[in-house]
Amino acid sequence: MTAPRLNTLVSALIGLLSVAAAVAVGHLVAGFVGLGASPYLAVGNTAIDLTPSALKDFAVRAFGTYDKLALLLGMAVVIAAFAAAAGLVSRRRPQPGMVLVGALGVLGVLAALARPDLGQLGPLAPVAAIVAGVLTFGWLHKLAVRAAAADEARAAADSHAAGEAPAGDGEAHAGVPGLGRRNAGRQRVTGRERPPATSGRRELLLASAATAVGAVVVGGAGQLLGKRVDVQASRRAVGDITPARSAPAIPAGADFVQDGTPSFITSNTDFYRIDTALVVPRVRAEDWSLRVHGMVERELDLRYEDLRGRELVEQAVTLCCVSNEVGGPYISTARFVGVPLRDVLNEAGVRPGADQLVSRSVDGWTCGTPTAVVLEPDRGALLALAMNGEPLPAEHGFPVRMVVPGLYGYVSATKWLVDLELSTFDAFDAYWARRGWAKQAPIKTMARIDRPSGFQRVPAGKVVVAGIAWAQHKGIEAVEVRADGGPWVRATLATEVNVDTWRMWRAELDLRPGGHTLEARATDRTGHTQTQDRAEPVPDGATGWHSVFFTVT
């Protein structure tokens, strides 16, 4: 007797459930060896690293800081489709589906091997996933075939008995629509020779439900285990980090919030976040250490308490991301507390020629900063421990990150920092340099219009225009605005806090009812006025004047 053909719903479901079991078991094992080893997350992280910059820019543009959620959901859809397909090509024999499910798991193994932060145990998680996925597939498939065969036998028995038994509903289908192969006609009341009506289906249904529930429980357990490294407890244990030298209080008049600018200090929850980490790295302060090595006189190995015991300084700094379009949102300001990075490098003794400081995060991300900039006495480069009066939030690099005023984040602001290597620009390309971004990336002088917003309708009369401007480490000299290509009007600048932070501005314009295009441009303290020429963020930051179209009614 040939094996029965499973119906589409059952076969697709077998594929989906086995992949769910695989992902869950992978996640459970990852709970022990590091959540990044979870096949789903490892594949996602590797996808991030392999994604061409252009696509990544698109993702950031389209989804903003939800780009990671978009990736995870997109992957879920693709994997689910693949899983269903694996089931559908196995309507008679389980082997094709088992091979496909195994192949999917191999992707996880490759991804785990490619992750720099997982160590040797990393591939265990996807290997366990493969075993779970393939076994589940074989098991469910066997049960489904048995159920379908029982159905067929029953149908045969029914047609055999047709005409003898009175028509009736019996326990037909047992409330399990779609499971097993549907019989052509209505079920008939059973004859003595008939095989047990629904035991095959019931077994399959139970097994499927058990697999689904098991996947949720097992996956959830992995998630809990993975988070047993309690970063929040470590942050609480760290407590208050008080600087020996506090930054001056932010003066009144440092922003024009009432006119539509952001507040001068960005709260930690509102602070923009950009990084390649799909799971926020979890490093406890008590486990943390920083190795300083490479072209140095003496290697250093610093613990968190070593840094904490030093003279800590506090500075307000505006960070911004090179991937900002003109007028973009990835810019924020915080008060950072930390150790002057210059002091640490001087203790290690930088050898001549080491023009690049390579910093590395616990998840393997790398960043190259000009050594000369970090060593400038008044640059204010920091190994930061705290942000706005609390230990760094996990998303912003707890326990220690770099902050270098005046340079875009990708060449200066390494989060979850664990390694500093003195090297050269010739010898090493950091993460984004390898992907076509410039090795040198000082922040470009820029103005952004925050109010009115694009296509806003504002009442006639004096129109208040407000925004931000930045030229970190140079300082803003002037901001000008104009409407419809008319004469430039000098904006009023808010109180300056320091040259490393943004500067708010406002102006009032008399505008007739109708549509208007506003433009703004900033001039920094070196006398440089930002260029009108439009350039994309790649390779070293967007240029051009921000413009906003709006309507006066």
Ligand X SMILES: Nc1nc2c(c(=O)[nH]1)N[C@H]1C(S)=C(S)[C@@H](COP(=O)(O)O)O[C@H]1N2
Q: Which residue is nearest to ligand X (CB)?
A: 409
Closest residue by Cα to residue 238 from 307, 319, 301: 307
Contact 465, 518 (CB under 8 A): yes
Q: 273 is in the binding site of which of Mo ion, ligand X, none (Cβ under 5 to 8 A by kind)? A: ligand X
Query: Least distance (Å) from ligand X to the CB of residue 306?
Result: 21
Exposure class string for 216-240: b at 16+ Cβ within 10 A, else e: eebbeebbebbeeeebeebbeebee
For ligand X, the binding residues in 288-327 under the rule CB under 6 A are 319, 321
Q: CA 470, 355, 283: angle at the middle one, nearest 5?
A: 70
Interface stretch with ligand X, choices 100-108, 227-235, 271-279, 337-345 (CB under 6 A): 271-279
> Which pair of tokens denotes residue 239?
């407590």
Among 22, 118, 127, 321, binds Mo ion (CB under 5 A): 321
Alpha-carbon distance 274 to 323, whole Å? 10
Our finding on whether 431 is near Mo ion (CB under 5 A) is no
Our finding on whether 336 is near ligand X (CB under 6 A) is no
The identity of residue 418, as a single letter, is: V
Interface stretch with Mo ion, choices 16-24, 143-151, 272-280, 357-365 (CB under 5 A): 272-280
Q: What 3-state DSSP class applies to 358?
A: strand
Question: Residue 296 contacts by C-beta under 8 Å, 6 or more apart in sequence?
Answer: 345, 348, 349, 350, 351, 354, 422
Alpha-carbon distance 371 to 382, whole Å? 13
Q: Which is nearer to Mo ion, 304 or 431 (CB)?
A: 431
Exposure class string for 407-434: b at 16+ Cβ within 10 A, else e: bbbbbbbbbbbbbbbbbebeebbbbbbe
Query: Least distance (Å) from Mo ion to the CB of residue 248?
Result: 28
Q: Could you tell me whether strands 492-493 and 476-483 are parallel, antiparallel, or unpaired per DSSP bridges?
A: unpaired
Q: 365 is in the binding site of which of Mo ion, ligand X, none (Cβ under 5 to 8 A by kind)? A: ligand X
Among 51, 263, 268, 276, binds ligand X (CB under 6 A): 276
Query: Least distance (Å) from ligand X to the CB of residue 292?
Result: 17
Q: Which is nearer to ligand X, 304 or 416 (CB)?
A: 416
Among 82, 137, 256, 271, binds ligand X (CB under 6 A): 271
Alpha-carbon distance 323 to 65, whole Å? 12
Q: Which is nearer to ligand X, 136 or 361 (CB)?
A: 361
Interface stretch with Mo ion, choices 1-9, 162-170, 196-204, 271-279 (CB under 5 A): 271-279
> Which pair of tokens denotes residue 205?
């249904």
Q: Which is nearer to Mo ion, 82 or 272 (CB)?
A: 272
Query: Least distance (Å) from Mo ion to the CB of residue 355?
Result: 22
Q: Which is nearer to Mo ion, 410 or 431 (CB)?
A: 410
Query: Least distance (Å) from Mo ion to the CB of residue 272?
Result: 9
Among 40, 264, 272, 336, binds ligand X (CB under 6 A): 272
Q: 387 is in the binding site of which of Mo ion, ligand X, none (Cβ under 5 to 8 A by kind)? A: none
Task: Give bridge partners of residue 464 from the DSSP assignment.
Answer: 508
Q: What is the largest CA-CA distance in the chain?
A: 102
Question: Cα torsion at 354, 357, 362, 363 (round to 10°)?
Answer: -100
Q: Where are the alpha helices (DSSP H) in 64-120?
A: 67-88, 95-114
Q: Quick one: DSSP state of residue 535?
A: B
Our finding on whether 409 is near Mo ion (CB under 5 A) is yes
Among 45, 361, 423, 445, binds ligand X (CB under 6 A): 361
Query: Least distance (Å) from Mo ion to the CB of residue 220?
Result: 33
Q: Which is nearer to Mo ion, 317 or 321 (CB)?
A: 321
The identity of residue 504, as a single letter, is: M
Task: Could you list the beta-strand ranges (E) of 246-307.
Answer: 289-294, 300-303
The 405-424 site mask, x for binding ligand X (CB under 6 A), equals: ----xx--xxxx--------
For ligand X, the binding residues in 387-406 under the rule CB under 6 A are 396
Task: Give bridge partners of residue 336 from the DSSP assignment.
Answer: 315, 387
Our finding on whether 274 is near Mo ion (CB under 5 A) is yes
Q: Which is nearer to Mo ion, 409 or 467 (CB)?
A: 409
Q: Which is nearer to ligand X, 335 or 396 (CB)?
A: 396
Q: Which residue is nearest to Mo ion (CB)?
A: 321
Alpha-carbon distance 54 to 532, whole Å? 23
Q: Which is nearer to ligand X, 136 or 356 (CB)?
A: 356
Give the total of residues touching ligand X (CB under 6 A): 18
Among 410, 470, 505, 550, binds Mo ion (CB under 5 A): 410
Distances 526 to 387, 530, 534, 545 between C-alpha atoms, Å: 29, 11, 21, 18
Closest residue by Cα to residue 284 from 391, 379, 198: 391
Query: Least distance (Å) from Mo ion to the CB of residue 416?
Result: 15
Our finding on whether 337 is near ligand X (CB under 6 A) is no
Q: Contact residues for ligand X (CB under 6 A)?
A: 271-277, 319, 321, 361, 365, 396, 409-410, 413-416
Q: Contact residues for Mo ion (CB under 5 A)?
A: 274, 321, 409-410
